[in-house]
Structure 1
Amino acid sequence: MKIESFVFDFDGTLAELRLDFAEMKLRLSSLAESYFAPTPPPPFLPVLEWLAWLDKRIRESNGDRTGEFRQKALTLISEMELEGARSGALFSFTRPLLKALAQKGAKTAIITRNCEAAVRLVFPDLSDYCSAFFSRDHVSSPKPDPAHLIHALESLGADLRTAIMIGDHPLDIQTGKAAGVMTAGVCSGSSSRDELVRAGADWVADDCQRLIELLTTMESGDGCSRPVS
């Protein structure tokens, strides 16, 4: 089946951004101590879920200050994301790959849990290469909530049957599966091939460039196993 719509994650998928999530969690916990004596959140939670856990506990114990905490926490996260973006860069293949997909008539979008400002710092001409872009700032609940992906697909006028979600983290695979589209993992970011396979990715490749080459081979009728390597 020909894939007509490609939705990409950003960090680790189209760009290299160095974010210290462990340090981010420590700073959030230190901030939370000003509002209540927190029990550390479960360590496996991603940062935004870590924040939600702390926010819920503050609401339960000190409800009148939860808005204040959340605003300070989001500012802290955004500042660290911008710091990471300043030392980050697009992968060398990103612009040529997106341009080539557009020339073939494919629809492309980027969705990310990162803030818009950080992404545009790394990819200021994003709008010239991608049909749609939705950061966490643009949605009420970011991925792995499938609504984030579905919103992007709707903006593209995409058919779910010919759409694919591509990312470097199991959360991306989870998001795509929940939305009912094909999924592909790339090993250019934070997750290993085994982790992406266990998450249920339909295909796995070293990076987006290799992935598109493999998908093109598949569409040409040469065949392709799942997951690919």
Structure 2
Amino acid sequence: MKTIEAIIFDFDGTLAELTIDFDEMKKRLKALGSAFLEPLPEKDVPALEWVDFIADCLAEEDPELGKEFHTRCRFLIISMEVEAARNGKLFPFTCDMLNGLRNSGIKTGIITRNTASAVRELVPEINKLSGCFLSREDVQNVKPHPEHLFKALEVIGVSPENTLMVGDHPMDIETGKRAGSMTAGVATGRMSVEELQQAEPDFVAVNCAELIQLLEKEGLVVNNL
């Protein structure tokens, strides 16, 4: 196993409770989309990618209509994200874990597909929790595109092969693999340990606190809580 010099974390479902109802979000987006395009083309992708796809379909005939649809969808998504953040909180272990990693010399970062305003609604001091915080507004291509992780690593100055990408969804594991980093899944979102194992990460744990304990036993990190 390679040396771990940095750990990059997903946010919702990994460091904080996952309170966003993605099924309801997709339902509202499709209702909005039906007012623009009927019938709606089928595309089984996450909400952000679905909005881009429908906007591109509309833009083929009317670029301005595509832009209007995209803008209205983004406002809907942000409003739901901010509302969810008001009802959320960090997991009890998050701050102590991040402080312990910092004290042990492990660099950390946070990347999220969420909007920055929602994350800051929940954690105003988010930039102080780790060496790097990148929301979807900070990159052109969000995870699972490796650019999201690459940019975080550029900020903290660590190579992918010495990095562990941690998240609660197979998308996070895919992000790490595409960037060439080690990967870990934690079952604090909507995926079970068994579901995460199917994505074949290097490590799987019930939560981040247990993950760090596992890494300590393997001699990969020293966590000074």
Provide TM-score, normalisation by structure 2.
Answer: 0.93
- Shift in Å, 1:145: 0.5
- After superposition, give the CA deviation of every residue in 1:30-87 in whole Å (9 maximum; x if it has no partner): 2122222132533x42111221222122123433311111111111000000010000
Identity of aligned residues (%): 45
CA distance in 1, matches of 2:157, 2:143: 19
Give yes or no for contact 1:113–1:142 (8 Å, CA) kept in 2: yes
Instruction: Report the CA distance between 1:141 and its aligned residue.
Output: 1.2
Contiguous gaps of at least 5 residues in structure 2: none
Amino acid of the residue matched to residue 132 of structure 2? A
Q: TM-score, normalised by structure 1?
A: 0.92
SS at match of 2:218: helix
The answer (yes or no) to whether the contact 1:168–1:191 under 8 Å persists in 2 is yes
1:143 Cα deviation from its structure 2 partner: 0.3
Equivalence map 1:125-144=2 (5 Å): 125-144=125-144
Which residue does the alignment assign to 1:16?
Answer: 17
- State the alpha-carbon separation in 2 of the partners of residues 68 and 217 from structure 1: 53
Between the aligned partners of 1:103 and 1:115, the Cα distance in structure 2 is: 29
The answer to whether residue 58 in structure 2 is matched with residue 58 in structure 1 is yes
Tell me the distance in 1 between the aligned counterparts of 2:55 and 2:38.
Answer: 13
Match of 2:215 in 1: 215
Contact 2:57 2:66 in 1 (8 A): no
Q: Within 5 Å, which residues of 2 pair with 1:67-106?
A: 67-106=67-106
Counterpart AA for 1:22: D
Deviates more, 1:13-22 or 1:86-95: 13-22
* 1:197 match: 197
Against the structure 1 CA distance between its residues 10 and 220, is the aligned structure 2 distance closer, same or farther, given a 3 Å change threshold?
A: closer
Equivalence for 1:145:
145
Trace 1:178-197 onto structure 2 (pairs within 5 A): 178-197=178-197
How many residue pairs are counted as aligned between the two chains?
220
TM-align CA RMSD: 1.5
Q: Which runs of 4+ in 1 moved over 2 A?
A: 38-42, 60-64
Instruction: State the one-letter code of the partner of 1:172.
Output: D
Name the aligned partner's letter for residue 57 of structure 2.
R
1:119 aligns with 2:115: no
Task: From the superposition, tell whether residues 26 and 62 of structure 1 become closer, same or farther in structure 2 (CA, over 3 Å).
Answer: farther
Partner-residue secondary structure (3-state), 2:102: helix
Aligned residue identity for 1:99 = N
